[in-house]
A and B are shown apart, each in its own frame.
Chain A
Amino acid sequence: MSLPQHIQTWFAARGWAPRPHQLAVLEHAAAGDSVLLISPTGGGKTLAGFLPSLAELSEPRSGGGIHTLYVSPLKALAVDIARNLEAPVRDMGLPITIETRTGDTPQHKRVRQRQNPPDILITTPEQVSLMVADPHAAHLLKDLRTVILDELHAMVTSKRGVLLSLALTRVAAHAPRARRIGLSATVADPDALRAWLAPAGQPPVPLVMGQQGAAPNIRILKSAERVPWSGHSSLYAIPELYDALKRARLALIFVNTRSQAEMVFQSLWEANDDHLPIALHHGSLDVSQRRKVEAAMAEGRLRAVVCTSTLELGIDWGDVDLVIHVGAPKGSSRLLQRIGRSNHRLDMPSEALLVPSNRFEVLECEAALQAARVNAQDTEYPMVLKFDVLAQHVMGRACAGPFRPDELYREVTGAWTYRKLTRADFDKVIDYVATGGYALKAYERYAKLKPQADGSLRLTHPRLIMSYKLNAGTIVEEEMLKLRLASVKRRLGKRVVMGGRVLGEMEEWFLSQLSQGDTFLFAGEVLRFEGLDEFGALASRGGAREPMIPSYQGGKFPLSTYLAERVREMLADPKSWTHLPQQVQDWLSLQRFKSVVPRAEDMLVETFPRADKHYMVCYPFEGRLAHQTLGMLLTRRLERWGAQPLGFVASEYALVIWTVRDLALMIASGRISLAKLFDEDMMGDDLDAWLAESNLMKRTFRNAAIIAGLIERRFPGKEKTQRQMTVNTDLIYDVLRSHQPDHILLRAAWDDAAEGLIDAQRLAMMLKRIRGHIVHKALEVVSPLAVPVLLEIGRESIYGEAHDALLAEAADDLIGEAMRLV
């Protein structure tokens, strides 16, 4: 397909020419092939995706269904893409209709779209699932020629992507000729994405690479201040950070968690002597508040925005010329993606500044910087085969009309994500959807699916369609409560709290631990908790300067395996330390003197007594989640072997366990063998036994139960009645586990926990890696490397300033002990 004349004219009128990758995509599409385009931001990626459709739609076509389905992970992005596409389409003089369909699209508009479909429909993955669950899907999709999947790298690593892959099998059933165009940022394993994208029975789709931009210019903040030993606040660097953003036109300041965003924002505001317009943007803020910030960025009214991953994807608001990353970036790809938010001209390097919040993060930032310089990628592998997601898809399939299980099994296993699904497991999922899948046959009479004479399964009641629609999707939010601004008055001697405007949403677990009068940070200000009412939580502007209750949660993203390896290598090679700040070099040199610096392939285990306890610290560098699991499993084992463990704390880099008995002695006398302690066999029965009792499983079970439709989502406003109707999923989990431990949803929950919350796969790989490579060092006192993780002990129970003083005191003792020269 060559570009039609008026599109060529459009390019020429702007002094542009189509880029090679845009033409390559066009060529593949013209041949009817699916294709994957990997290109950095700013490479005209979205236009590349749309060009084949624009070219085809410039000719008259027969049929009136949707021609192009564009799927984006973000609702807001869908609206912006539509707007950005309308302008060129108008300028090219093309008679193309473009519409959006998101969760916010009103019912009458959906009806109209069904009767009179647009040429191009811009939508989200959830909407695709809902569309194919509609009995009229065939009519809508009969003329479909193209499915464009934008930001594919971001979708495939979650259950949204898994659900989308299933919805695409249904799209293909209605429109076998439709090609798929995947648009992605750079990923670690393009082949997996190529296979993901391929329609059933076809080889991985061809790959087109966009032009790489200039390598970014990344620096690590070399602070004159003392870099803290532990913690995540980065407050030491605020003055230097402020200086850096003063010199920028518009700076994006990325942090890893909402509470970090709050803390950094508040501290910047206090340092803001020049009254620079600095804003805050994170997922818990009210949507209208976020839209305001985005608009202000676009209009150039802001100088800096403190944000979480909410500004990581999507179109650009404003002309960002500096990206600051506070805290370690956790992965090379994540860092590159965030840096890509600045300076969208491919020929100019983007500017980025990394601000480590503690000494280990200095190492991690250095590793990330080196990785980013060579454009190393460490994105996650696409997620596959989720039973809960399949159950939702089966229900959706039933909503569209009767189906034959044999055909559905063939269709589902045509998706790369479900290629390994066995027929036995598929039948279990069908059985679950129909009657719950229980050994005790209580629901035969109330089955949702019933077999017909011809062997097909049919939905038993149209009401189930409504329930499916309300509960569709795979994003299960933490239980959130609306937070409203309250005014407190005294009336007849009684305290009356009146709710005002909505400030945003906060996690229920956090709000429910507060007492009236407690102060905390939200939306950049210190609020005072006033209580709960039937609409949510109430807080007033209390006038306090210091928040009393920290809302710190560990980072959401674990350190990537790739970066962990680089950190271990860097640590093992003192010659590479010259890049590091002097104070960090001193710290590592002292570690070499007082204990040992492990080789890259070794894992160091240190033991030492302290006060009246005995400590063991190991350094796997595998991320907090894997370390927490390791801690659970090791303490169980040490308990059995009589070491009397008292507790453990995990950080991103290390794990510390403390015991009553002298571990060094037990190791020296052969009572405990470190090789046996860290043996891979802990991943068997010990893991099962611990996990079954753990709260983590209850969390993943709740998610699986909601996605699979076992229990209904809670909706704001309906909560009061629903709470009485629903049963707490923890209770369901306990009962199901004791009566039918092999139920399909328990398996789903176990898989999720093993992959996500406990990082079992990573732990298993680590245990394999260190076999025969454990180096034990018995010390008299704590080592310099161990100080940061020891400082984490008791962190979660700190409240208020007095406790902070105590902690600082304890910290100073510890550091003195470690740094004292013998």
Chain B
Amino acid sequence: MSRTHRICLGGLDFIPDLSGALYAPDFATLLVADLHLEKGTSLARRGVHLPPYDSRESLEQLRRVIAAAKPQRLIFLGDSFHDPAARERIDGQDLALLLSITATIPTIWITGNHDPAPPGDIGGTIAAEVALGPVSLRHEPKPLGDGMLEIAGHLHPAATVVQRGHRIRCRCFIADDRRIVMPAFGSYTGALGIGSDAFAGLFEDYKVWMLGSRAIHRFPAARVR
């Protein structure tokens, strides 16, 4: 895991990973947002047969991150399953991979709008919110009172940089000194530009950490849209 970048929140350091996961060294905890397992097969009933490999791709990626970071705890920030029937559709081999992860690392499934009730038979425990020291972990960002801090997912942020006439758009972490919104981890999850209305009012003087194909790049707010 690359340790070149740090996102500081409430005096704690968080380490963004190129995969979109976020590692909290003070808690030996790995955070993953918006996995959207089985998004690929979610439209099967309508006759849309997308390549059904997205869960495998995402879970293998997760396994690689875990092997590198060796966390003692794993927390999913919601929308881990694309829909309530995802558990029924997941391929046996992919399910085995998921179970092997939750069997070895204590896991918490935070609920999201796509999975208000995550499956109960996949290991780990379920919670609506989790406190990591002074930081609240939840799916959707909430208005924050004085001194409150949060890490959330839900929005699937992406940022755009224009360089020499080329427009480069990547998934990103976006953060100011009160909040981090994580990029979506799932291999079929789309992304939403940080200039869109959904981000309005969430951040003050923010920075973004863009996930390039080989490295993470940090930019101040003025440089991106």
Query: Which residues of B have CB within 8 Å of A612?
Result: none
Closest CB in chain A relative to B29 CB, distance in Å: 27
- Report if B19 contacts A (CB, 8 A): no
- Report if B190 contacts A (CB, 8 A): yes
- Report if A288 contacts B (CB, 8 A): no
A443 to B202, CA, bound (A): 41
- Report if A797 contacts B (CB, 8 A): yes
Q: Are B47 and A513 in contact (CB under 8 A)?
A: no
A734 to B190, CA, bound (A): 13
- Which residue on A lies nearest to B196, using beta carbons? A532
Q: Are B52 and A442 in contact (CB under 8 A)?
A: yes
Q: Are B44 and A443 in contact (CB under 8 A)?
A: yes
With A513-B162, A513-B167, A731-B188 in contact, do A442 and B47 touch (Cβ < 8 Å)?
A: no
With A442-B89, A731-B190 in contact, do A740 and B53 touch (Cβ < 8 Å)?
A: yes
Q: Are A796 and B91 in contact (CB under 8 A)?
A: no
Q: Are B91 and A440 in contact (CB under 8 A)?
A: yes
Closest CB in chain A relative to B93 CB, distance in Å: 8
With A442-B89, A446-B45, A734-B187 in contact, do A436 and B51 touch (Cβ < 8 Å)?
A: yes
Q: Which residue from A727, A798, A799 sits with its C-beta under 8 Å from B40?
A: A727
Query: Which residues of A have CB within 8 Å of B54?
Result: 735
- Report if B177 contacts A (CB, 8 A): no
With A442-B89, A727-B39, A797-B164 in contact, do A467 and B187 touch (Cβ < 8 Å)?
A: no
A723 to B190, CA, bound (A): 9
- Report if B56 contacts A (CB, 8 A): yes
- Report if B48 contacts A (CB, 8 A): yes
Q: How many residues does chain B have at the interface if contact means C-beta atoms less than 8 Å apart?
A: 29
- Report if B80 contacts A (CB, 8 A): no
Closest CB in chain A relative to B158 CB, distance in Å: 11
A395 to B189, CA, bound (A): 28
Q: Are B57 and A710 in contact (CB under 8 A)?
A: no
CB-contacts of A84-107 with B (<8 A): none
With A436-B52, A442-B52, A735-B57 in contact, do A461 and B47 touch (Cβ < 8 Å)?
A: yes
- Which residue on B lies nearest to A443, using beta carbons? B49
- Report if B103 contacts A (CB, 8 A): no
A446 to B43, CA, bound (A): 10
Q: Mark A722-752, 1 if CB is under 8 A from B, else 0.
A: 0101011001101110111001000000000
Q: Are A710 and B49 in contact (CB under 8 A)?
A: yes
Q: Are A446 and B51 in contact (CB under 8 A)?
A: no
- Report if B50 contacts A (CB, 8 A): yes
Closest CB in chain B relative to A774 CB, distance in Å: 32
Query: Which residues of B have CB within 8 Å of A736?
Result: 51, 53
- Report if A565 contacts B (CB, 8 A): no
Q: Are A463 and B52 in contact (CB under 8 A)?
A: no
Q: Are A740 and B51 in contact (CB under 8 A)?
A: yes
Q: Are B167 and A732 in contact (CB under 8 A)?
A: no
Q: Are B187 and A435 in contact (CB under 8 A)?
A: no
- Which residue on A lies nearest to B225, using beta carbons? A515
CB-contacts of B25-53 with A (<8 A): 39-41, 43-53
Closest CB in chain B relative to A244 CB, distance in Å: 35
Query: Which residues of A have CB within 8 Å of B11?
Result: none
Query: Which residues of A have CB within 8 Å of B57?
Result: 735, 738-739
Query: Which residues of A have CB within 8 Å of B162?
Result: 513
Across chains A and B, the number of contacting residue pairs, with CB separation under 8 Å, is 90
Query: Which residues of A have CB within 8 Å of B91?
Result: 440, 442
- Report if A464 contacts B (CB, 8 A): yes
Q: Mark B38-81, 1 if CB is under 8 A from A, else 0.
A: 01110111111111111011000000000000000000000000
Q: Which residue from A464, A734, A735 sits with its C-beta under 8 Å from B47?
A: A464
A509 to B43, CA, bound (A): 28
- Which residue on B lies nearest to A738, using beta carbons? B57
- Which residue on B lies nearest to A733, using beta carbons? B51
Q: Are A743 and B51 in contact (CB under 8 A)?
A: yes
- Report if B201 contacts A (CB, 8 A): no
Query: Which residues of A have CB within 8 Å of B46?
Result: 463, 467
A467 to B48, CA, bound (A): 10
Q: Are B47 and A727 in contact (CB under 8 A)?
A: no
CB-contacts of A410-439 with B (<8 A): 435-436, 438
Query: Which residues of A have CB within 8 Å of B39?
Result: 727
- Report if A711 contacts B (CB, 8 A): yes
Q: Are A438 and B188 in contact (CB under 8 A)?
A: no
Query: Which residues of B have CB within 8 Å of A463?
Result: 46-47
Q: Which residue from B49, B56, B89 sits with its C-beta under 8 Å from A436?
A: B49
Q: Which residue from B45, B51, B167 sits with its C-beta under 8 Å from A739?
A: B51
Query: Which residues of B have CB within 8 Å of A740?
Result: 51, 53
- Report if A712 contacts B (CB, 8 A): yes
A512 to B167, CA, bound (A): 9
Q: Mark A697-716, 1 if CB is under 8 A from B, else 0.
A: 00000000000001110000
Q: Are A735 and B190 in contact (CB under 8 A)?
A: no
Query: Which residues of B have CB within 8 Å of A28?
Result: none
Closest CB in chain B relative to A347 CB, distance in Å: 52
Q: Are A728 and B167 in contact (CB under 8 A)?
A: no
A467 to B44, CA, bound (A): 14
Query: Which residues of B have CB within 8 Å of A528?
Result: none
- Report if A448 contacts B (CB, 8 A): yes
Q: Which residue from B41, B51, B225 sits with its C-beta under 8 Å from A732?
A: B51
Closest CB in chain A relative to B224 CB, distance in Å: 12
Closest CB in chain A relative to B41 CB, distance in Å: 5
Q: Are B48 and A711 in contact (CB under 8 A)?
A: yes
Query: Which residues of A have CB within 8 Å of B166?
Result: 796-797
- Which residue on B lies nearest to A796, using beta carbons? B165
Q: Are B47 and A467 in contact (CB under 8 A)?
A: yes
Query: Which residues of A have CB within 8 Å of B167?
Result: 509, 512-513
A798 to B166, CA, bound (A): 11
Q: Are A735 and B45 in contact (CB under 8 A)?
A: no
- Which residue on B lies nearest to A433, using beta carbons? B49
Closest CB in chain A relative to B165 CB, distance in Å: 4
- Which residue on A lies nearest to B53, using beta carbons? A739
A453 to B164, CA, bound (A): 62
Q: Can you list 22 pairs linking A and B with CB atoms under 8 Å apart?
A: A436-B49, A436-B52, A438-B49, A438-B52, A440-B91, A442-B41, A442-B52, A463-B46, A467-B46, A509-B167, A513-B167, A711-B48, A723-B190, A727-B40, A727-B190, A728-B188, A731-B188, A735-B187, A743-B51, A796-B164, A797-B166, A799-B165
19 new A-B contacts at CB < 8 Å, known A443-B52, A710-B49, A739-B57: A435-B49, A436-B50, A436-B51, A440-B52, A440-B53, A442-B52, A443-B44, A467-B46, A513-B167, A515-B225, A710-B48, A727-B40, A727-B190, A731-B189, A738-B53, A740-B51, A796-B165, A796-B166, A797-B166
- Which chain B residues have a beta carbon within 8 Å of chain A's beta carbons? 39-41, 43-54, 56-57, 89, 91, 162, 164-167, 187-190, 225
- 10 tightest CB-CB pairs across the interface, nearest first? A436-B49, A442-B52, A797-B165, A739-B53, A446-B44, A797-B164, A736-B51, A727-B188, A796-B165, A443-B49
